[in-house]
Structure 1
Amino acid sequence: MRSILITGASGFVGRVALPSLQQAWPQAKLHACARVIPQGLQATNICWHALDMTQATSVEALVAKVRPQAVLHLAAQAHVPTSFAEPERTWAVNLHGTRYLLEALARHTPQAIVLQIGSADMYGSSFQNGEPVQENSPFAPLNPYAASKAAADLAAYAHAHTSDLQIIRVRAFNHTGAGQSPAYALSGFARQIARIEAGLQAPVLEVGDLSAQRDFLAVQDVVAAYVLLLQQARQVPSGYAVNVASGQAHRMQNLLDLLKAHAKIPIEQRQDPQRLRPSDIARVCADNQRLQSLGWRAQVPLEQCLQALLAHWRWQIAQEISC
Structure 2
Amino acid sequence: MSTKALITGITGMVGSHLADFLLEETDWEIYGVCRWRSPLDNVDHLLDRVNKKDRVFFEYADLNDQMSLYRVVTEIKPNYIFHLAAQSYPQTSFTAPIDTLNTNILGTCRLLEAVHAAMVADESYKPVIHVCASSEVFGKIPADKKPEDGINEDCPFHPASPYAISKVGTDLVGRYYAEAFGMTVMTTRMFTHTGPRRGDVFHESTFAKQIAMIEAGMLPPVVKVGNLKSLRTYADVRDAVRAYYILVTKNPVAGEYYNIGGRYTCEVGDTLEALINMSPMKDQIKVEEDPERLRPIDADLQVPDCRKFTAHTGWEPVIPFEQTMEDLLNYWRDRVKGGHEFLTR
- State TM-score, norm by structure 1: 0.94
The residue aligned with 1:213 is 231
Deviation per residue, 1:142-192 (Å, 9 max, x gap): 211111111111111111111132111100111111111110000100010
1:143 paired residue among 150, 158, 161: 161
Does structure 1 residue 165 correspond to structure 2 residue 194? no
The residue aligned with 1:299 is 318
In 2, the alpha carbon distance for the partners of 1:135 and 1:195 equals: 40
Does structure 1 residue 102 correspond to structure 2 residue 112? yes
Which consecutive unaligned segments of at least 5 residues does structure 2 have?
A: 120-124
In 2, the alpha carbon distance for the partners of 1:166 and 1:23 equals: 25
Q: How does 1:267-286 map to 2 (within 5 A)?
A: 267-286=285-304
Contact 2:141 2:299 in 1 (8 A): no
1:248 Cα deviation from its structure 2 partner: 4.5
Contact 1:111 1:164 in 2 (8 A): no
Deviation per residue, 1:19-78 (Å, 9 max, x gap): 21123331x221111113655333220110111110111111111111111100000001
> Cα 1:81–1:115, aligned 2, differ >3 Å: closer, same or farther?
same
Contact 1:127 1:284 in 2 (8 A): no
The residue aligned with 1:241 is 257
Q: How does 1:165-244 map to 2 (within 5 A)?
A: 165-232=183-250, 235-244=251-260
2:58 paired residue among 48, 51, 74: 48
The residue aligned with 2:122 is none
2:130 paired residue among 115, 118, 124: 115
The residue aligned with 1:253 is 269
> Cα 1:242–1:193, aligned 2, differ >3 Å: closer, same or farther?
same
The residue aligned with 1:6 is 7
In 2, the alpha carbon distance for the partners of 1:268 and 1:139 equals: 37
- State TM-score, norm by structure 2: 0.88
Contact 1:249 1:283 in 2 (8 A): no
What is the one-letter code of the residue matched to 2:258?
V
Q: Tell me the SS of whatever aligns to 1:320.
A: coil
The residue aligned with 2:91 is 81
Contact 2:136 2:299 in 1 (8 A): no
Which consecutive unaligned segments of at least 5 residues does structure 1 have?
A: none
Q: Tell me the SS of whatever aligns to 1:199.
A: coil
Contact 1:24 1:227 in 2 (8 A): no
Q: Tell me the SS of whatever aligns to 1:125.
A: coil
Deviation per residue, 1:71-107 (Å, 9 max, x gap): 0000000111211221221112101111111111122
The residue aligned with 1:34 is 34
Contact 2:207 2:223 in 1 (8 A): yes
Contact 2:63 2:103 in 1 (8 A): yes
What is the one-letter code of the residue matched to 2:254?
S
2:100 paired residue among 86, 90, 115: 90
What is the one-letter code of the residue matched to 1:133?
I
Identity %: 30
What is the one-letter code of the residue matched to 2:73?
V
> Cα 1:250–1:13, aligned 2, differ >3 Å: closer, same or farther?
same
In 2, the alpha carbon distance for the partners of 1:90 and 1:101 equals: 16
2:306 paired residue among 282, 288, 302: 288
